[in-house]
Structure 1
Amino acid sequence: MRTRVAVIYGGMSVEHEVSVISALQAVQNMDQAKYEIIPLYISKEGTWYTGEQLLDIDQYKDLKGLLQRSQKILLSREANNRVTVNKDPKPKWGKAYINEIDVAFPIIHGTFGEDGVLQGYLELLGLPYVGCDVLSSSTGMDKVIMKNVYRDSGLPILDYVWFYSSQWNDAQEDWIQKVESELHYPVIVKPANLGSSVGISKAADRDELEEAVELAAQFANKVVVEKMVQNMTEINCSVLGDYESAEASVCEEVLGSDEILSYEDKYSGGGSSKEGGASKGMESTNRVIPAEISEDKTKEIQELAVRAFQVLGCSGVSRIDFMIDKDTDKVYINEINTIPGSLSFYLWEPTGKPYKELTNDLIKLALKRTREREQLMFSIDSNLFSLSKLSGGKGSKGTK
């Protein structure tokens, strides 16, 4: 019997379309002899759908029509601990049951999918799932928390200032002075919890800083202002594994059309690579694979990538983005993507790991984590209600 894999994608995120592309590419590269694929598409409004037609990328050109032909669903945990896909609403006649899920494969980038929210829901269902858990997902998604953890772990990051948008509104002049005294211009301004370069901009003076913060605050209520490396090389490296064992991929050099690699650079430009065959992932990004950097620098970045992955307790596959300051030759971690575009398969193919093998490894890692957690105790046999006389809704005096 094939393992039933629910691929969850779409979602309520500015990266919705990228998620659809990544998910369908992954589905095309799963071993159909081993896995029965169940597509679970989440609309931008948060409604869940299933149906074979959702696996055809051309159908998304008429999204409204596609969803009218698809089945709304809900997931349910049954008494025997099975997780089932059911019709929503439940029909008056006939079966609501559609299928059963053995393991979930989330491929939602950004908010409500990469930030631990979806992972928490899957935990409550008791459903094994691919990728990072709640804590590593949420830590990796929040650039402020991520930077704090990396800094305290001795990993190289750029100097930064962060604040809530409400704090900026209440004391804008104070925050401007803090940025100017601690970082100096130019700086990069980012929403704290988005990827794909959305809401990110450069500021070379006060006026541009105000505009950049205003833009970032449209996407997140927490804003990061970071020292800008003006003469840099952007290098990405993927990591596969978990807290026990992890390996790094080849490195790629990303070529943007400006100092900041824009959303358009990543998903709307033209792809390239030295070998010509590894540029299919985020098909559009201009890249050089392997990166044209020294062996020593490659090794340094790969070792930092594995450390950055394991410090957060990541699992599955992630992509860690780096910057090399060409003036000082120093390497800095920019961010970690715990559900990278197309799952970074294009960084693994040059190592001899085809996409089909990568997806198989990810599913095996998910099931390994489940086996480990089954050995843990999450509750104890007790009945506090029998220990003393209770007083209804009034509680017990002097007890905590």
Structure 2
Amino acid sequence: MKIGIIFGGPSREREISFAGGRTVYDNLDKSLFEAVPVFADSLGNFILLDWNFIYKGTIRDFYPPVEVVPATEHGLQMYLESLGQLSEEEINDIANRVGQRIHPHQFKELFDFAFLTLHGPYGEDGSIQGLLEWYGIPYSGSGILPSAIGIDKIAQKALLKQHGFATPDYRILSQTEWHATQDKGALLDSLVADLGLPLVMKAPHQGSSIGVSIIKEKNLQLFEEAIARSLFSLTIQKQDWLSKSEAQQLNFVKTLTDIREGIGLPVQTETGELIYAPEELLSLLSGYFTENGPESLTLTNVESETQVLIEAFINGREFSCIVVQDQTGDPIALPPTEIRKGGEVFDYRSKYLPGLSRKITPIDLPTEQIQEIRQQCERLYTSLGFNVYARLDGFITETGEIFLNDPNTTSGMLPSSFFFHQAAEIGLNPSQFLTYIIRTSLAERIKSGKNTAALTRTLQGLEKQMHDERAHRHDKLRVGVIMGGYSSERHISVESGRNIYEKLSSSTKYEPIPIFLMGDDQTHQLYQIPINIMLKDNADDIKEKIDASEAGVPAHQVLAQIAESASSITSLYAGNTLKKPQRLTYEQLAGLVDAVFIALHGRPGEDGVLQSELEKFHIPYNGSGIQSSQVTINKFETNKILRQNGVPVADHMLAFKKDYQENQGAFFNQIEQSFRYPFIAKPADDGCSSAVKKIKTREELEAFAELIFRSNVEIPESPARVLNLSFKEEVPMKGYFLIENLISREGAKHFLEITGGLLTSYGPDGRVQYEVFEASEALAEGEVLSLEEKFLAGEGQNITPARYARDQKERQRISDQVKQDLKRVAEILRIEGYARIDAFVRVHPDNSVETIIIEVNSLPGMTPATCIFHQTAINGYKPYDFIDRILQFGMERTKKVIS
């Protein structure tokens, strides 16, 4: 079956939709389905997308293509709507640079079924569902009516009350009423009197917590800001604007025009003037706020909400529950997940970055209350007429009262989403769950009475293929995917491992087996883990579940009951599955797998220790060998060797804990005598941007040393505040750290930070040969690239290939030189398998090119959003193809050693 995956769209959640579309594209069972990527742009045009663009980090990285974006002073990325009014010819030209523009009447020629990962307006509101029904295309999820209900929070309120569900008191405030209100303080008083404090403000047609605020006190300014946020409007005061530096003004405009955090673009002023582009807005504000000019300017998005939903705050525990339907159409609520978050709002960042919130499944409550939540969710699913699956959110108070709100007909489909997290509890991996969605959706569309005979034939054909696929499930190579660890990079390691697992599980060649590594530098413990534990929220949750199993804690009673009620689903899509973690020795691992994929970062994994254990039992593995790994794990040693071989690196030194403890004054003086502020401080043997800081003052240096050299795991408050550590940011405890001079432009006509990937293979002569990919240009919002920018879908801005020059011929000349430099680094360090090399590039006035190496990662991050996949796509490798080549090299290397 050809599956048209429709993703992107006009909504503010388009980046999550884009990432979700990529998840579906990669995880569809390749023995059953052929994926057809259909990108909906922000103006509603459909594009049959060239597959390599799916692996860009964000939509703005490829669309609109960089060559059609006008050159601007600050080079800000933008969405299509910022190009202003476009003719049909211009839209066709832009679309055809990334694929082929298509129209709905052509859908039937291109795919048999539409898998919808669109979110928000146009995607979840019945619009796309109605379009597909008109053209006779079966699609995933609920139909038109339940979709229209699922998007409208205000309509839901009336229906919830009508069907007897508890719902918090609420008021609806229209935009017209708000602007007509002279005494906004009196309005606030009235709302507090009716609803109490805190007040919850919501944009009625948005998801991902966009446009949501909580007002905890009777503060008029905060109230006005919250209403404006829900209406996607903002009033800028002259005094505030003029008090900002140029850099702060630029960052303000970046945030203001962000579709998730700000109000987005285009915007209109009070006079009706339309502003399309970020630079245009920056220019307007700079010229508008003069000494004798107006005191304020109000900007409103052209797709602003016209109402605000204001609710009484529910003081309770928050949960989310996926409801699916069985073969007979009856709903089954999967185990509800409790959301434990760091802030008050389960916001965009907390939802989609691993480790920032915790998902506890099932919610930690007595069995009777969990079952009551499930029963309420099943009743709501039926009452609103939902089909196939839905995600229902809610709260349970201390008195046991259950409030359901925001039922969603489409769930986020990132690997860490509730969607897959809860399906794993009945034994379905993501690939199997997607097959379930497609088959169940087909059966549901047949009930509509449209195209009944054709849809029945399609369903029967799919069921025959599924039967054939089950018969050949055991003819595959077994790959142990090792993830987790105990470093500050363990959560990213789990994300990488899950991504590798998911790419392999949908293949026709490999059967992946998830292996979790625990322990410390002295001892490693390996566990084969079930799919439901692998898909826990982060590494700490996985470890907690393994520890509980080892201690003999039985599986939760509710999980057993749900597994029993869903057995008809599980048996059809998954077959037999592992029920609890199993401890393994390295010798037992050798008997279980044909090869392993190490998805660990830093220590252990990249330091040669794990490789030594695997080689004892001739287990093939990915990445570099023992000696190369021992070198590249240590940034200081790597820099030293490269410098000895004439490769430009930053000036560097190690700062030791023993020197710090003996004499702090002398310790800091020695650093200050060797390096001028600002400089870079970072752990010498961790990656993933873990604790990398730009140190600008003695106070910051003292704070960094205190954190790295602390004796307790808990991070002290004072140095954390000095270094502006973000929520849940971890700093490892080390015996030394690395200091490097800050690499700067130094007179170069062009200066940029890049990250380049490479892949190795054996040539005809049996020697290792290198394929170096086009590097990505990394754009950091802050002082250094953050964890989010590297690994969170929709966050990082990586432009691939890097923009070394505007002239294409000159750009390629510089790129070829950089690739030669990266290849030489790989040869010096004897890198094998694959790697990522971070560097700065200076293009000097005489056009000479200088590549300054920052660090080498022998096991680079392999999360879905990492830019190495953007690079491999240019060379024709989909992520699965890249992973397959990495594994093939490892198996060939082991064969050579054995023979």
Q: Provide the secondary structure at the position in 1 that maps to 2:773.
A: strand
- Equivalence map 1:61-210=2 (5 Å): 63=542, 64-65=544-545, 68=549, 70-77=580-587, 83-84=590-591, 100-210=592-702
- Determine the C-alpha separation between the residues in 2 that align with 1:168 and 1:239: 39
Q: Provide the secondary structure at the position in 1 that maps to 2:774.
A: strand
The answer to whether the Cα contact below 8 Å between 1:13 and 1:44 also exists between their aligned partners in 2 is no
Q: Provide the secondary structure at the position in 2 that maps to 1:120.
A: helix
Higher RCO (C-alpha under 8 Å, 6+ residues apart): 1
Displacement of 1:145 = 0.9
Q: Provide the secondary structure at the position in 2 that maps to 1:347.
A: helix
The aligned counterpart of 1:23 is: 497
Displacement of 1:157 = 0.3
Aligned with residue 798 of structure 2, among 281, 287, 295? 287
- Equivalence map 1:203-352=2 (5 Å): 203-217=695-709, 219=732, 220-231=734-745, 233-241=752-760, 244-268=768-792, 271=794, 284-293=795-804, 294-325=811-842, 330-342=850-862, 344-352=868-876
- Matched to 1:238, the amino acid is G
- Determine the C-alpha separation between the residues in 2 that align with 1:55 and 1:65: 7
Q: Provide the secondary structure at the position in 2 that maps to 1:334.
A: strand
Q: Provide the secondary structure at the position in 2 that maps to 1:233.
A: strand
**Alignment CA distance shift 1:123-1:25 (3 Å):** same
The answer to whether the Cα contact below 8 Å between 2:623 and 2:886 also exists between their aligned partners in 1 is yes
The aligned counterpart of 1:2 is: 476
The answer to whether the Cα contact below 8 Å between 1:249 and 1:348 also exists between their aligned partners in 2 is yes
The aligned counterpart of 1:276 is: none
- Matched to 1:71, the amino acid is P
The answer to whether the Cα contact below 8 Å between 1:190 and 1:223 also exists between their aligned partners in 2 is yes
Displacement of 1:229 = 2.1
Greater Cα offset, 133-142 or 27-36:
27-36
Displacement of 1:55 = 7.8
The answer to whether the Cα contact below 8 Å between 1:19 and 1:341 also exists between their aligned partners in 2 is yes
**Alignment CA distance shift 1:58-1:182 (3 Å):** closer
**Alignment CA distance shift 1:368-1:211 (3 Å):** same
Higher Cα radius of gyration: 2
Specify every segment of 5 or more residues in structure 1 that has no aligned partner in the other structure, as ranges: 85-99, 272-283, 376-400
Percent same amino acid among aligned pairs?
26
Displacement of 1:358 = 0.9
- Determine the C-alpha separation between the residues in 2 that align with 1:350 and 1:191: 33
Displacement of 1:289 = 1.3
- Matched to 2:590, the amino acid is V
Displacement of 1:60 = 5.6
- Determine the C-alpha separation between the residues in 2 that align with 1:215 and 1:60: 23
- Determine the C-alpha separation between the residues in 2 that align with 1:230 and 1:327: 13
What's the CA shift string for 1:33-88, capped at 9, x where partnerless? 2222111122477543224415863676964457745322213537xxx922xxxx
- Matched to 1:288, the amino acid is I
Displacement of 1:174 = 4.1
**What TM-score do you get using the length of structure 2 for normalisation?**
0.36
**What TM-score do you get using the length of structure 1 for normalisation?**
0.78
- Matched to 2:703, the amino acid is E
What's the CA shift string for 1:331-366, capped at 9, x where partnerless? 210001111111732320122111121111111111
**Alignment CA distance shift 1:236-1:184 (3 Å):** same
Specify every segment of 5 or more residues in structure 2 that has no aligned partner in the other structure, as ranges: 1-474, 550-578, 711-731, 746-750, 762-766, 805-810
**Alignment CA distance shift 1:330-1:178 (3 Å):** farther
Q: Provide the secondary structure at the position in 2 that maps to 1:73.
A: strand
Q: Provide the secondary structure at the position in 2 that maps to 1:157.
A: coil
> Whose helix proportion is higher, 1 or 2?
2
Q: Provide the secondary structure at the position in 2 that maps to 1:83.
A: helix
Displacement of 1:173 = 4.0
Aligned with residue 892 of structure 2, among 368, 384, 390? 368
Displacement of 1:212 = 2.5
The aligned counterpart of 1:37 is: 512
Q: Provide the secondary structure at the position in 1 that maps to 2:585.
A: strand
What's the CA shift string for 1:270-305, capped at 9, x where partnerless? 53xxxxxxxxxxxx4221111111223212221121
Quote the RMSD (CA, aligned, Å): 2.7
What's the CA shift string for 1:220-268, capped at 9, x where partnerless? 2121111002455210100111662011111101111112112233234
**Alignment CA distance shift 1:350-1:183 (3 Å):** same
